[in-house]
Amino acid sequence: MDGTGIDLIVRERMKVVEGDITRLDVDAIVNAANSSLLGGGGVDGAIHRAAGPGLLAECRSLGGCPTGEARITGGHELPARHVIHTVGPIYDQHLPVEAARLLRSCYVESLRLAEEAGLETIAFPGISTGVYHYPKTEACAVAASAAAEWLAAHHLPRVVTFCCFSVADAALYRARLGIVD
């Protein structure tokens, strides 16, 4: 344990990368979806464009997803084998403590689906930190603590990657996780 409060063995199973999540060769990428699961802007739009129309067709069969929950599909034309769709909270629609509970639930429910499917590697974008306006520092703290707690208690997924879309976001995660590189 160091100043981050994260066990070193757990931290070795967490990675921070900068770039486009649709390019990652992992067992699952997580989509910051909306409750319709029928596509949208931001990372959701990028994932559907890269995965091709088969993903939308599969999503239609799911009948949506409530905030804080997650659903799993195939990866279709993505390098990732699966997409885990989770619906983050719209920050202004909740009290901060409820927004944090819902955001944490997105991470935990996504990790639970990955474990149930026997997946070893998963990559998350910054759920709710785009058009849903969750403050980035607070969202990073929720993401890091939810993932660290999960990893401390579960063998799968083996590795959790935080895929950051900007240098500033990656710096935030590295600082939070105590990663120096």
Token code pair at residue 125: 């974008």
Among positions 28, 32, 83, 103, the unique one binding ligand ADP when judged by CB under 6 A: 32
68 touches ligand ADP by CB under 6 A? no
The piece of 1-9, 19-27, 58-66, 140-148 that touches ligand ADP (CB under 6 A) is 19-27
CA–CA separation, 128 vs 50, rounded Å? 21
Other CB atoms within 10 A of residue 110 CB: 28
Among positions 17, 36, 39, 46, the unique one binding ligand ADP when judged by CB under 6 A: 46
Q: Report how far apart, in Å, the C-alpha atoms of 132 and of each of 17, 73, 86, 113 are.
A: 22, 23, 13, 23
The minimum distance between CB 133 and ligand ADP, in angstroms, equals 7
> In which residue are the tokens 């993903």 written?
55
List contacts with ligand ADP (CB under 6 A).
Answer: 20-22, 32, 42-44, 46, 88, 125-132, 163, 165
